[in-house]
Amino acid sequence: MGFRALTLMLVAFVFHTACVEPRVRHYNFKVGKKNITRLCASKLILTVNGKFPGPTLYAREDDTVIVRVVNHVNENVTIHWHGVRQLRTGWSDGPAYITQCPIQTGQSFVYNFTLTGQRGTLLWHAHINWQRATVHGAIVIFPKHGTLYPFPKPDKEEILVLGEWWKSDIQAVLNQGLQSGRAPNVSDAHTINGRPGPAPNCSSNGYTLHVEHGKTYLLRIVNAAVNEELFFKIAGHQLTIVEVDASYTKPFKTDTIFIGPGQTTNALLAADQETGKYLIAISPFMDTTVATDNQTATGLLRYLGIQAFSPTEVTAVPPRNATPATTRFMDSLRSLNSRQYPANVPKSIDHSLMFAMGIGVNPCPTCLNGSQVVADFNNVTFVLPTTAAILQAYYYNISGVYTEDFPANPPNPYNYTGTPPANMQTINGTKVYRLGFNSTVQVVLQGTTMIAPESHPIHLHGFNFYAVGRGVGNFDPQKDPESFNLVDPVERNTVSVPTAGWTAIRFRADNPGIWFLHCHLEVHTTWGLKMAFLVENGDGPSESILPPPDDLPSC
Ligand SMILES: *[C@@H]1O[C@H](CO)[C@@H](O)[C@H](O)[C@H]1NC(C)=O
Ligand SMILES: *[C@@H]1O[C@H](CO)[C@@H](O)[C@H](O)[C@H]1NC(C)=O
Ligand SMILES: *[C@@H]1O[C@H](CO)[C@@H](O)[C@H](O)[C@H]1NC(C)=O
Ligand SMILES: *[C@@H]1O[C@H](CO)[C@@H](O)[C@H](O)[C@H]1NC(C)=O
Ligand SMILES: *[C@@H]1O[C@H](CO)[C@@H](O)[C@H](O)[C@H]1NC(C)=O
Ligand SMILES: *[C@@H]1O[C@H](CO)[C@@H](O)[C@H](O)[C@H]1NC(C)=O
Ligand SMILES: *[C@@H]1O[C@H](CO)[C@@H](O)[C@H](O)[C@H]1NC(C)=O
Ligand SMILES: *[C@@H]1O[C@H](CO)[C@@H](O)[C@H](O)[C@H]1NC(C)=O
Ligand SMILES: *[C@@H]1O[C@H](CO)[C@@H](O)[C@H](O)[C@H]1NC(C)=O
Ligand SMILES: *[C@@H]1O[C@H](CO)[C@@H](O)[C@H](O)[C@H]1NC(C)=O
Ligand SMILES: *[C@@H]1O[C@H](CO)[C@@H](O)[C@H](O)[C@H]1NC(C)=O
Ligand SMILES: [Cu+2]
C-alpha cells in the first residue's frame, strides 16, 4: 500500500470518526424588540434575533447545545427548552423562579444541555409571564449518526409553528386580566409560521408550503399557541403521524391533527393529489362554553407548476366542540415500541398520586367584585417564590422558599365531575412533592367541574411520561387500571386531559432536580394550575444534579 493510499485511509478514518462524535452546537439568542405588522396593525413584540417565530435550533441526538441568551429588553427573560430531558442539568431548564431567577435587563445566561435519548421535534419558548406568545421557535433533533428514521426518508422537511396573535401588547393583555381577576382577552388570530392568512377586513399573505408532485414531506408541526388547543388540516390530503414530542409512534393516517400548546407532531405528507392549491387550516378546540379565539388561520399547500388562477381546494375545519375528533386522534397514538426504541413503561408503582385540577375563586380586594379566578391542583393554588428559584433554595438549603407538603391526593374527595362543592376557595402555597431517585410514579390527572370543566394540556418538565389510560367522568381506582395500556402507550411531555375526565401518566423519577408540572394553557398557569416535583439525587455524582453554573442569575 502506497503512502498516498494510507493517507487517504487515515483521512477517511478521521473524517468518519469526526462525524460520529457528538458535537457541541453554539447558539446566540438576543432578546430584543421588533415592530411588526399583522392584521393590518403594527406593534412592538419581543423576539429572539429579530425573528418571529424565532430561529430553529438544530442538533443531533447526543449533541450538547450551548445557548447564550442576552436580555436587551426592559423586562425579565428566561427560555425553556420544552421537552428536553435536561438530565442532571435542571439549571438549564428555564421556568422562572422554579429552576432559575430571571435574566434581568442587560444580563446574559448560558444554557448548557445534552440531548439524550430523544429525536424528532420539540420547541423552545420564553418561560416568564406571557412572553412565549412571540418568543418561541422549533428544536429539530436529528437521529444520531448511524441511525435512520424508522419510516421512509422524506424528500424534504418543513417546520410549521402554530401560534396566536394579539393586536394589543401581550403584557397589557395579561395585566388587564390580573387586575380584573377575570380571564384575559382571547387572541385576535391564530398563525401558521407567524402569519394568520387573509383575515376579516385585512388581506394579507398567509404561509405557503410549496411542494412537488410525487415527493414526500416531513412536516414538523409545533403548537406554540398560548391558550388554545388546535386542529390542523390540509384539504384533500391525509397525513401519516410518525412522531410526537420527540418520540416515535406507530405510523397512522389521519386527515385531522389535534395538537395542544407545547405539543409537537411529525407527519409525513405525500404530494400525491392532483396538481393544485389546497388550503391549510388551523382552528381551535373547546368543548365547553369557555371563550376562545374562533378565527381560522389559513395557509396554502401549492404544487409546483400550477397556473396562477387555479382555484384553491378548501377544507371544512372541525366544529369548535369536536370532542370525537380529539378522541380519535389520541386513541390512535401508540409508541413505536420497537427493539431499537422500546417503551419502558413502569409496571410497579412507588408513588400512586391523584391530582384533581380545578378552577376556584379567591378574595382579591383590588379586583372586580373583590374576587379573582384562580386554579389549583389538589386545592393548592401554586404561588411562585420571589427571593430565590426553588432549585436554588433546594440546592443551597435556603429555608422559607417552599414546603414539601404538596398533597398526594385531593384533601377533600368529592364527585369531581358531578355537582361541585359550594366553597370554591383554594389554599395559596409553594408546595412540592418529594420523590426518591429512580422511584416510579403514577399521576391520575383528574379534571373537575369546579366552575368550568375544560380540557387541560398538562406538561411535565424533566421527563417524558407514558399516557397509560384516559376516560370521562371520575377515575375508578378499582376498575380503570384494568384497561391501562402498559405495552405501547404514547410517550410524551404534554398530554390533553379530557374535559370532566381523567388521564393517567407514568414515569420513572431518574432525573434529580426540581421539575415543574403545569397546564400549558398560559391563562391556567397564571391562575396557579402548577406544582413541582423534587427528585432527590441518587448514588454518587453520576446520579446527582450538576453544580450550578457560575453565571446563574440571582433574584
Ligand atoms: C411600527 O411601524 C409602523 C409602520 O412603519 C409605524 O407606523 C409605527 O409607528 C411603528 N410603531 C412603533 C411602536 O414603533
Ligand atoms: C457545559 O456543561 C459541561 C458539563 O458540565 C461542562 O463541561 C462545559 O464546560 C459547559 N460548557 C459551557 C460553555 O458552559
Ligand atoms: C380587551 O377587550 C376589550 C373588549 O373588546 C377591550 O375594550 C380592551 O381594550 C381589551 N384589552 C386589551 C389589553 O387589549
Ligand atoms: C369589516 O368592515 C365592515 C365595513 O366597514 C364592517 O361593517 C365590519 O364590521 C368589519 N368586520 C370586522 C370583523 O371588523
Ligand atoms: C367562539 O364561538 C363560541 C361558540 O360558538 C362562542 O360562544 C364564543 O363567544 C366565540 N368567541 C368569540 C371570541 O367570539
Ligand atoms: C360582578 O358581579 C355582578 C353581580 O353579581 C355580575 O353581574 C358581574 O358579572 C360580575 N362581574 C364580573 C367581572 O365577574
Ligand atoms: C444542604 O443540606 C444537605 C443535608 O443536610 C447537605 O448534605 C448539603 O451539603 C447542604 N448543601 C449546601 C450547599 O449547604
Ligand atoms: C357524579 O356526578 C355525576 C353527574 O351528576 C353522576 O352521573 C355520577 O353518578 C356521580 N358519581 C358518583 C360516584 O356519585
Ligand atoms: C380548599 O381549601 C379551602 C381553604 O382551606 C377550603 O375552604 C375548601 O373547602 C377546600 N376545597 C376543597 C375542594 O378541598
Ligand atoms: C432504576 O430502577 C430500575 C428497576 O429497578 C433498574 O433496572 C435501573 O437500573 C435503575 N436505574 C438507576 C439509574 O439506578
Ligand atoms: C426582575 O426580576 C427581579 C429578580 O427576581 C425582580 O426583583 C424584579 O422586580 C423583576 N423585574 C420586573 C420588571 O419584573
Ligand atoms: Cu389548563
**Mind listing the pLDDT tens digit for each residue in 381-403?**
999 999 999 999 999 999 999 99
Task: Name the residue with cell 432525573.
Answer: 511
Q: Does residue 50 surpass a pLDDT of 50?
A: yes
Atom from ligand 1 closest to the CA of residue 43 = 13
Q: Does residue 14 surpass a pLDDT of 70?
A: no
Widest Cα–Cα separation across the chain = 90
pLDDT in the model for residue 452: 85
DSSP state of 293: -
**Considering only CA atoms, which of 27, 235, 83, 90 is closest in space to residue 548?**
90
Indicate whether 408 belongs to any domain.
Answer: yes
Residues 6+ apart with CB under 8 A from 211: 217, 269, 271, 301, 302, 303, 304
Ligand sitting nearest the alpha carbon of 168: 3
Q: Does residue 177 surpass a pLDDT of 90?
A: yes
Q: Give me the DSSP letters along 341-374.
A: S------S-SEEEEEEEEEEEEE-TTSGGGEEEE
- The answer to whether 151 and 242 are in contact (CB under 8 A) is yes
> 414 phi and psi, to 5 degrees?
-150, 180
Q: How far is the CA of 473 from the centre of ligand 9 (A)?
A: 21
Q: Does residue 2 surpass a pLDDT of 70?
A: no
pLDDT in the model for residue 45: 98
Indicate whether 465 belongs to any domain.
Answer: yes
Tell me the pLDDT band of 454, cut-offs 50, 70 and 90: very high
Atom from ligand 2 closest to the CA of residue 549 = 14
Q: By three-state DSSP, how is residue 533 classified? A: strand
- The rounded distance, in Å, linking the Cα atoms of 451 and 32 is 39
DSSP state of 195: B
Q: What is the pLDDT of residues 306-351, one digit of tens each?
A: 988 889 999 999 999 999 999 999 999 999 999 999 999 999 999 9
Residues 6+ apart with CB under 8 A from 343: 335, 336, 337, 466, 487, 488, 489, 491
Which triple of cell numbers denotes residue 301? Answer: 399547500
Atom from ligand 3 closest to the CA of residue 166 = 14
Atom from ligand 6 closest to the CA of residue 368 = 13
Indicate whether 422 belongs to any domain.
Answer: yes
How far the first Cα of the chain sits from its last, in Å, is 65
Q: pLDDT above 90 covers what percent of the chain?
A: 93
**In 115-215, which ranges are E strands?**
120-126, 136-142, 156-165, 189-192, 208-211
Atom from ligand 1 closest to the CA of residue 44 = 13
Strand order in the sheet with 239-244: 189-192, 156-165, 216-223, 264-270, 239-244, 247-254
Indicate whether 485 belongs to any domain.
Answer: yes
Atom from ligand 3 closest to the CA of residue 169 = 13
User: Nearest 10 degrees: CA dihedral of 243, 515, 261, 63?
Assistant: -40
Q: Does residue 7 surpass a pLDDT of 80?
A: no
369 CB within 6 A, ligand 6: yes
Protein residue with its CA nearest to atom 10 in ligand 9: 426
- The rounded distance, in Å, linking the Cα atoms of 124 and 495 is 17
Q: What's the chain's length in residues? A: 555
Q: Report angle CA 351, 357, 358 to the nearest 5 degrees.
A: 155
Indicate whether 43 belongs to any domain.
Answer: no
Strand order in the sheet with 513-519: 432-435, 530-535, 513-519, 456-460, 494-497
104 CB within 6 A, ligand 11: yes
500 - beta bridge partners? none
Q: How far is the CA of 45 from the centre of ligand 1 (A)?
A: 11
Average pLDDT score over residue span 144-170: 97
For 134, counting Cβ atoms within 10 Å of its Cβ (0-12 exposed, 13-18 middle, 19+ buried), the class is buried
Q: What is the pLDDT of residues 359-375, one digit of tens each?
A: 999 999 999 899 999 99
Ligand sitting nearest the alpha carbon of 42: 1
Pocket-forming residues, ligand 4, beta carbon under 6 Å: 200-201
- The rounded distance, in Å, linking the Cα atoms of 90 and 293 is 35
Q: Which domain holds residue 443?
A: 351-543
Q: How far is the CA of 176 from the centre of ligand 3 (A)?
A: 8
pLDDT in the model for residue 251: 98
- The rounded distance, in Å, linking the Cα atoms of 342 and 468 is 15
Ligand 2: which of 89, 112, 544, 546 to mutate, most ligand atoms within 8 Å of CB? 112
Q: pLDDT above 70 covers what percent of the chain?
A: 96
306 CB within 6 A, ligand 1: no
**In 40-155, which ranges are E strands?**
41-48, 57-60, 64-71, 79-82, 108-114, 120-126, 136-142
pLDDT in the model for residue 309: 81
Q: How far is the CA of 282 from the centre of ligand 4 (A)?
A: 22
pTM over 0.85: yes
Side chain identity at residue 544, one-letter code = S
Q: Does residue 215 surpass a pLDDT of 80?
A: yes
Average pLDDT score over residue span 506-524: 98
Ligand sitting nearest the alpha carbon of 189: 5
- The answer to whether 95 and 127 are in contact (CB under 8 A) is yes
- The rounded distance, in Å, linking the Cα atoms of 510 and 113 is 16
| Average pLDDT of the chain to the nearest whole number | 95
288 CB within 6 A, ligand 5: no
Tell me the pLDDT band of 1, cut-offs 50, 70 and 90: very low
Atom from ligand 11 closest to the CA of residue 74 = 13
Indicate whether 139 belongs to any domain.
Answer: no
pLDDT in the model for residue 10: 42
Question: Beta strands 156-165 and 216-223: pairing type?
Answer: parallel
In the chain, the number of structural domains is 1
Q: Residue 532 belongs to a domain with what CATH number?
A: 2.60.40.420
Q: Does residue 15 surpass a pLDDT of 80?
A: no
418 CB within 6 A, ligand 8: yes
- The answer to whether 256 and 505 are in contact (CB under 8 A) is no
Q: How far is the CA of 373 from the centre of ligand 11 (A)?
A: 24
- The rounded distance, in Å, linking the Cα atoms of 161 and 52 is 10
288 CB within 6 A, ligand 6: no
- The answer to whether 300 and 312 are in contact (CB under 8 A) is yes
Side chain identity at residue 552, one-letter code = L
- The rounded distance, in Å, linking the Cα atoms of 356 and 409 is 8
Ligand sitting nearest the alpha carbon of 285: 5
Q: Does residue 108 surpass a pLDDT of 80?
A: yes
Q: How far is the CA of 49 from the centre of ligand 11 (A)?
A: 23
- The rounded distance, in Å, linking the Cα atoms of 223 and 232 is 10
For 36, counting Cβ atoms within 10 Å of its Cβ (0-12 exposed, 13-18 middle, 19+ buried), the class is middle
352 CB within 6 A, ligand 2: no
Q: Does residue 13 surpass a pLDDT of 60?
A: no
**In 72-149, which ranges are E strands?**
79-82, 108-114, 120-126, 136-142
41 CB within 6 A, ligand 1: no
Ligand 11: which of 104, 175, 178 to mutate, most ligand atoms within 8 Å of CB? 104
Indicate whether 131 belongs to any domain.
Answer: no
Q: What is the pLDDT of residues 276-298, one digit of tens each?
A: 999 999 999 999 999 999 999 99
Tell me the pLDDT band of 21, cut-offs 50, 70 and 90: confident
Q: Does residue 19 surpass a pLDDT of 90?
A: no
Q: Please report, for residues 137, 205, 264, 471, the alpha-carbon distance to residue 301 in angstroms, rounded to integers and kept in the order given.
A: 22, 13, 20, 36
Indicate whether 290 belongs to any domain.
Answer: no
- The answer to whether 77 and 126 are in contact (CB under 8 A) is yes
Q: How far is the CA of 42 from the centre of ligand 3 (A)?
A: 16
Ligand sitting nearest the alpha carbon of 177: 3
Protein residue with its CA nearest to atom 3 in ligand 8: 418
Q: What is the pLDDT of residues 223-250, one digit of tens each?
A: 999 999 999 999 999 999 999 999 999 9
Q: How far is the CA of 500 from the centre of ligand 9 (A)?
A: 19
164 - beta bridge partners? 190
**Considering only CA atoms, which of 547, 359, 534 is closest in space to residue 437?**
534
pLDDT in the model for residue 26: 98
Q: How far is the CA of 347 from the centre of ligand 3 (A)?
A: 50
